[in-house]
Amino acid sequence: MCSQQDAPDPVINTCNGFECGVKFEGPNSPNKPSLWTENWTSFVQRYGEEPFIRSAADIAFHVALFVAKNGTYVNYYMYHGGTNFGRTAAANVITSYYDQAPLDEYGLIRQPLWGHLKELHAAIKLCKVPLLAGSFETSSLGHLQIAYVFKGKSGKCAAFLVNNDNTSNARVRFQNISFELPSMSISILPDCKNVAFNTAKVSTQYNTRSRTVKYKFDSMERWEEFNEPIPIFSNTLLKANALLDHMSTTKDTSDYLWYTVSFQHESDAEAELSVVSNAHVVHAFVNGAYKGYAHGGKHNFALENPIELKNGTNHITLLSVMVGFPNSGAYLERKTAGIRSVRIQNRYLNNYQWGYQIGLLGENLSIFTDNGRNKVEWSRFQGRHSRLIWYKTVFDAPGGNDPLALNLGSMGKGEVWVNGKSIGRYWVSIHTPQQRPSQTCFLFSGTIYLDLF
């Protein structure tokens, strides 16, 4: 049970985080081992955020400290990065998952992290006899320096010399031998005499991940498009006299839920549309014309745009979009999402009869598959910057065995299918504080048929 210090027997209280050697109070019973169940090598990245990069020296320091303080198990989360294919990513989480891990999303070695941790664990393994069967003691080496010592019955001895000073190196004496400890570092002595490894001394060379362009999708003649139709109240099957919750209505079958309402207005007029939502994105259409969008995150956000009403029947259609559902935290069963309030000038439409369509037509017809793509009429690519358009093309697979990635840096927001399989969501148009997308390249394998929405 992570982060639950009062876990009852026989449940083992454990630690998740970056610095469990510092922050973990230890097992709440002498019969329980000291476990670090999630050593975060990076952190979950969300759209609009920069990647969290943790140094090799920092990870090695806290692993060595946890072991030195009688830690018995360290699990890296993640040691190998991965991909949130399809719609598996949680709320606002990018498709790439822990790409900064020792083995990245593509399965490639990320140096110096991989090499430095390999050297760390080789040094810890040299200490295994006194670690597993020896007695344990500590001794002060200075104001911010301490030695953790393990002594076996056979005379074997291992020591972890810790310098907690984050500004200065320290010279200490241990068993009548002088040692120089870099700032914020741990020296591992498998024989209590010779340093086998220091966490701050990274000898592994840095590497970089390079990409080679194999194919450019820059020919307009190779693309076709299909405009997603905008539903109106009269052609929806699900209706309610209320604004329904997005998550409980879609039941996680789609990121998209259409809300649509029709009402009478007595003259042509300009008005202001105000929509409050706690989903992730909302798009607004009035009488079939696109009127803008807004996006938010954990809290309510508002879309407020001027619109034109006509004399007679007017159609308001709103597209609520979730970029993944929440998957952690307390009271998940109470969480809601979707449109909370709709107002035109001083007229609230919350209690009007609304029509609903779950998902997009292209999704419901699976037009990204061999069987589904012939169910709609595709047209030649027009190059327009319209909303809610499906694009498709066909191309030959590049040769070689290297990982393949699709660069979507020119796109906005949507989802990608290759050979009928979704390789994930993209949201290139939302930028980080450094004014760049959180992710532009998306991992996939096998290439024949591509749809972008």
Give the number of other Cβ atoms within 10 Å of residue 388's Cβ.
19
CB neighbour class for 294 (10 Å; exposed up to 12, middle 13-18, buried from 19)? middle
**pLDDT tens digits along 154-200:** 889 999 999 999 999 999 999 999 999 999 999 999 999 999 999 99
Q: What is the mean pLDDT of the chain?
A: 94
**pLDDT tens digits along 228-259:** 999 999 999 999 999 999 999 999 999 999 99
**pLDDT tens digits along 333-345:** 899 999 999 999 9
CB neighbour class for 324 (10 Å; exposed up to 12, middle 13-18, buried from 19)? buried
Can you tell me the distance from the alpha carbon of 71 to that of 160, in angstroms, rounded to the nearest whole number?
Answer: 13
Give a three-class secondary structure readout of the chain.
Answer: CECCCCCCCCCCCEEEECCHHHHCCCCCCCCCCCEEEEEECCCCCECCCCCCCCCHHHHHHHHHHHHHCCCCEEEEECCECEECCCCCCCCCECCEECCCCCECCCCCECCCHHHHHHHHHHHHHHCHHHHHHCEEEEEECCCCEEEEEEECCCCCEEEEEEECCCCCCEEEEECCEEEEECCCEEEEECCCCCCCEECCCCCCCCCCCCCCCCCCCCCHHHCEEEECCCCCHHHCCEEECCCCCHHHHHCCCCCEEEEEEEEEECCCEEEEEEEEECCCEEEEEECCEEEEEEECCCCCEEEEEEEEECCEEEEEEEEEECCCCCCCCCCHHHCCCCEEEEEECCEECCCCCEEEEECCHHHHCCCCCCCCHHHCCCEECCCCCCCCEEEEEECCCCCCCCCEEEECCCCCEEEEEECCEEEEEEECCCECCCCCECCCEEEECCCCEEEEC
pLDDT at 398: 84
- The domains found in the chain, sorted by start residue, are 15-198 (no CATH), 220-227+363-452 (no CATH), 233-359 (2.60.120.260)
pLDDT at 402: 87
Confidence of residue 448 (pLDDT cuts 50, 70, 90): very low
List the beta bridge partners of residue 119: none
pLDDT at 449: 41
**pLDDT tens digits along 388-436:** 999 999 988 888 888 899 999 999 999 999 999 999 999 999 999 999 9
The residue that leads in pLDDT, 342 or 266, is 342
pTM: 0.91
Q: 62-77 b/e with 16+ CB inside 10 Å = b?
A: bbbbbbbbebeebebb
How much is the average pLDDT of 58-67? 98
| Whether the predicted pLDDT of 87 surpasses 80 | yes
**pLDDT tens digits along 115-166:** 999 999 999 999 999 999 989 999 999 999 999 999 988 889 999 999 999 9
Give the number of other Cβ atoms within 10 Å of residue 107's Cβ.
11
Q: What's the longest Cα–Cα distance across the chain?
A: 96
pLDDT at 42: 97
pLDDT at 452: 53
How much is the average pLDDT of 306-314? 96
